[in-house]
Amino acid sequence: MSDSSVSSLAAFLARHSRLFVLTGAGMSTDSGIPDYRDEQGAWKRSPPMTHQTFMHSDAARRRYWARSLVGFQALSEARPGRAHRALAALERAGRIERLVTQNVDGLHQRAGSRRVIDLHGQADVVRCMGCGATRMRHALHAELARLNPHWTTLEAQVGPDGDADLEHRNFGDFSLLSCARCGDGIFKPDVVFFGDSVPRPRVEAAFEALERADAMLVVGSSLMVYSGYRFARRAAELGKPMACINVGRTRADALFSLKVEASAGETLDAALRALNDAMPTEGLVAQAPTASL
């Protein structure tokens, strides 16, 4: 990351006081949560579970929940990084119209952001696909651990969104739970799987915020999936200036007026400090230490 990149990003932030911010997995890598894609936008590992596979395959559900029982603790214990805190500081200063995240880790809220649309939901809630009842995921995991005690002692490399790499395991003996309310409903994390549709109210709220915004900032997303890319495309149609912080190519590279290929945390932290120096009366000075903790 060059000084000129930081200066250019700080100038972009100074010019635009109603930012529409879209974030992806690159936001949370500093918090220990792996991302899905490499610098060329290709999958780093096998593609994530699809909605269709999860709903129609008992074996796939056993595999999913077994891996989740091992890997989800790392996601639930993750803490916001510098990038999350920097965006929260910008919001407190009144410079963010809306923050739309593709992540399901809840780290923006833990950092203090309030103007958040969780485009793909939050991973700490599960929903019965039969009757719609919801419950907290940690409670479901506690019951799964009671039914499958030997799985809780396994160690594995953590994957994105609370997954774990458990290869060459027999998942057939992993016991699942059915919904106590309706008797046989399938429990699924209340998140948008690949093949799911993002709930329309979230999409409409995001587009409305984009209309009100004066610029768009993309942080840590390759925009390879349409659920995020459509906002960049719409911003271009509206003539909104766009900047991006992301390591590697994105689907919208041709649309950005500024792109910084560097760590989201390091870049936003440095840009916020520069913005503090340039605009000491804008209320960001007091927030600079928070952004760099």
132-187 pLDDT per residue, tens? 999 999 999 999 999 999 998 887 777 666 777 777 688 999 999 989 899 888 99
Report the phi/psi class of residue 57: left, alpha or beta, with left for phi > 0 and alpha for psi in -120 to 50.
Answer: beta
In this structure, the number of other CB atoms found within 10 A of the CB of residue 218 comes to 28
> E-strand spans in the chain?
19-23, 96-101, 116-118, 121-128, 134-136, 187-191, 215-219, 242-245, 258-260
pLDDT tens figures, 210-232: 999 999 999 999 999 999 999 99
Q: Identity (one letter) of the amino acid at 80?
A: P
Percent with pLDDT over 90 in the chain? 72
At residue 167, the pLDDT reads 73
Which class for 88: exposed (0-12), middle (13-18), buried (19 or more C-beta within 10 A)? buried
Q: How many whole angstroms separate alpha carbon 287 and alpha carbon 264?
A: 18
Sorted by where each begins, the domain ranges of the chain are 1-33+80-120+197-293, 44-77+123-191
Q: What percent of the chain has pLDDT over 70?
A: 89
d(CA 188, CA 144) in angstroms, rounded, equals: 13
Q: What are phi and psi of 90, to 5 degrees?
A: -65, -40
Known binding residues for Zn(2+) are: 128, 131, 179, 182
User: Is residue 241 over pLDDT 90?
Assistant: yes
Determine the Cα–Cα distance for residues 180 and 182; give it in Å rounded to an integer: 6
Positions annotated as catalytic residues are 120
What sign does the dihedral 13-15-18-23 (CA atoms) show? negative
3-class DSSP state for residue 99? strand
DSSP 158: B
- Residue matched to tokens 């989201």: 264
Asked whether the beta carbons of 99 and 119 are under 8 A apart, the reply is no
116: pLDDT strictly greater than 90: yes
Binding residues are 102-105, 128, 131, 179, 182, 220-222, 246-248, 264
Q: Which CATH code, of 3.40.50.2020, 2.60.40.1120, 3.40.50.970, 3.40.50.1220, is assigned to 1-33+80-120+197-293?
A: 3.40.50.1220
Q: Which burial class, exposed, middle or buried, applies to 4 when counting CB atoms under 10 A from its CB (0-12, 13-18, 19+)? A: exposed
Amino acid (1-letter code) at residue 173: D
Name the amino acid, one letter, at 292. Answer: S
pLDDT, greater one: 41 or 49:
49
- The three-state secondary structure class of 261 is coil
All residues at 6 or more sequence positions from 206 whose CB lies less than 8 Å from its CB, including other chains: 98, 100, 117, 119, 231
Residue with token string 């993002």? 198
DSSP label of 17: S
- Segments in 178-238 forming alpha helices (H): 200-212, 226-237
pLDDT score, position 188: 96
